[in-house]
Structure 1
Amino acid sequence: MSDALFYDTLRQGLWTAFVISIPILTVALATGLVVGLFQALTSIQEMTLTFVPKLAAIIGTFWITMNYMSESLVSLFKGTLIPIIAGG
């Protein structure tokens, strides 16, 4: 395997990981901002208040985008990694 092929495969893998993580990270950020604003406005400083809504939002987002994430990973494997492995 040449250096160019290795770095191109690495770049594609990192880009796929970045694109797959965008929905979950965006929802976690938005939920954290909303809960933080709510805590600042009401002066409630409960630690579980930040954790539970974020966890629920992340699980919901993962459940909704699971098909998209799976398709992205399968296309990366079929289009890039399996031909490299099969080619030797």
Structure 2
Amino acid sequence: MLSEAVFYDTLRQGLWVAVILSLPILTVALVAGLVVGLFQALTSIQEMTLTFVPKLGAIVVVYWVSMGFMTQSLVSFFQDELVPLIAGGF
């Protein structure tokens, strides 16, 4: 039986991995949104697709670049934390 402390520790580590994995994408989306918003404010162009397309492009590029890091982080979390719990070796 899984104890409460082990459960909450595994949950905490899983949430931390999720934060680390989402940080590059969220940071790039924030920066791209600020740059496009500043550009729109300076030029008075209020086109809706102008905010969406650059942000989506930046997110896709960062996702493509950090895909190896994300995969390695998830695989190591599963192998080091979850597989031993499933196998009963906690």
TM-score under structure 2 length normalisation: 0.96
**In 2: Cα distance, 1:79 partner to 1:12 partner:** 11
Structure-1 residue corresponding to 2:53? 52
Structure-2 residue corresponding to 1:4? 5
TM-score under structure 1 length normalisation: 0.98
Amino acid at match of 1:20: L
In the TM superposition, residue 35 of structure 1 has moved relative to its aligned partner by: 0.2
Amino acid at match of 1:38: F
Structure 1 stretches of 4+ with a deviation exceeding 3 A read none
Long gaps (5+) in structure 2: none
Q: Percent identity?
A: 69
Which secondary structure does the structure 2 equivalent of 1:41 belong to? helix
In the TM superposition, residue 46 of structure 1 has moved relative to its aligned partner by: 0.3
Structure-1 residue corresponding to 2:17? 16
Amino acid at match of 2:3: S
Task: Summarize deviations over 1:54-85 as a string: whole Å, max 9, x none.
Answer: 00000000000000000000000000000000
Question: What do you get for the CA RMSD once the two structures are aligned?
Answer: 0.8
Long gaps (5+) in structure 1: none
Task: Summarize deviations over 1:2-22 as a string: whole Å, max 9, x none.
Answer: 000000000000000000110
**In 2: Cα distance, 1:29 partner to 1:70 partner:** 23
